[in-house]
Amino acid sequence: MHNGRLKPFNIGSEVLHVETTRETTTSPSTHTPICKKKFSYITEPTEQKLNSTDKEIKCMAMKGSTTSISLVNFVVSSAPNFLARQIIRETSGSISFVNGLSIKHVFVVGKSTDENTNLKIIKESEKHGDVLFYDYPDTYRNLVYKTLALLQWASENLSTQTIISKTDDDVAVYFLELSKNLKDIFNEVSAHENERENNVLEQFPLICAVGHRVGDLPMRDKKDKNYVSIEEYAPRKYPAFCMGSMYVMPMALAKDIYDLTCDHGMLRAEDVWFTGIVRDRLGRGDSNIVRHKYLFAQHFQTSLTTLEYREQHMRRMYLLMVNKLEVSKIPWC
């Protein structure tokens, strides 16, 4: 197995211009020790080498002069889903800047049991420079570890002045609408009387892109694949959480979630665990988890749709978004 590491990209120049005063948040109601599963990386995302085309030069100039918010969009993807990843690269993943939002896209992939698939992923990473390929089995039961792996990499490589999103590879994202959500929330937090002297991104909420769940009960039926025992989770209901197909959070919160996570105690339902239980243990109450203000993601659930159907609709939606950007004369590239 090839074990070369690609140099991580640096987004330090594309951040909000605010003061950073971060203190680690701990929950007064839990004494759970920090016991993270450490992942190694087979390949890591790199800073893309730009060709000297007029379009790319114009895009870099646009980002340098007007960027106010930086987002890293982590797309979790099964190892053999090469075509699904390419569809995203050619549609919503081709957008790197829109309406003041600078975007980098990273595909998060675990190790396949098929060595030929692993070799193809390494070649894919070398070609595109956008794959976080980590050394742990890529299975549905290990989905919670996939999210933990991306949180580990983000905690090690990204500034707390960054926003991240976790997205499935069967989700189409409207980045124009996402930029509006982020700007509105940023302005609301900035204007809050008690937050004027604090780092705005420290107070940024978790945003549910597809579903915001309140009052869900743990599945106690042992025959159900989502069964959760009393030993795993004793309370009668879950805290509010975002459905896992897509959610958005500030890097400061993502790092706190990663720091508090224990691998032996995690639920298999990664969305419940990370956006609900751990967030709640951090003392981030339900006022810090919000629904989207403007719809910015559509989930074409893999189990209910074919790849051909998803590709057709994702490409059509991308063209509609580009047309709207062109007609509205909103800066994008």
Kindly report, residue by residue over 20-54, the tens digit of the pLDDT: 222 333 333 333 445 677 899 999 998 764 444 56
* pTM of the predicted protein model: 0.86
Contacts of 66 (CB under 8 A, 6+ apart): 100, 331
Taking the mean position of all CA atoms in its chain, how far away is CA 90? 19
Does residue 5 form part of some domain? no
Could you tell me the pLDDT band of residue 1, with boundaries at 50, 70 and 90?
very low
> Is 242 within a domain?
yes
CATH number of the domain within which 229 lies: 3.90.550
Q: Contact, 150 vs 109, CB < 8 A?
A: no
Give a yes or no: residue 36 inside a domain.
Answer: no
What is the C-alpha separation between 29 and 239, in angstroms, rounded?
A: 15
Helical axes 175-191 vs 307-328, angle rounded to 10°: 60
In a domain, 56, yes or no: yes
User: Total domain count for the chain?
Assistant: 1
Is residue 179 domain-resident?
Answer: yes
Cβ pair 36, 261 in contact under 8 A: yes
* Sign of the alpha-carbon torsion through 271, 26, 280, 162: negative
**Per the structure block, which two tokens stand in for 266?**
């995690």
* Banded pLDDT at 4 (limits 50, 70, 90): very low
Determine how β-strand 97-98 pairs with β-strand 101-111.
antiparallel
Q: What is the pLDDT of residue 79?
A: 97
**Boundaries of domain holding 134:** 41-328
Q: Is residue 30 part of a domain?
A: no
- Is 76 within the bounds of a domain? yes
Q: What is the pLDDT of residues 98-144, one digit of tens each?
A: 998 999 999 999 999 999 999 999 999 999 999 999 999 998 878 89
Kindly give the pairing relationship between strand 131-137 and strand 41-43. antiparallel
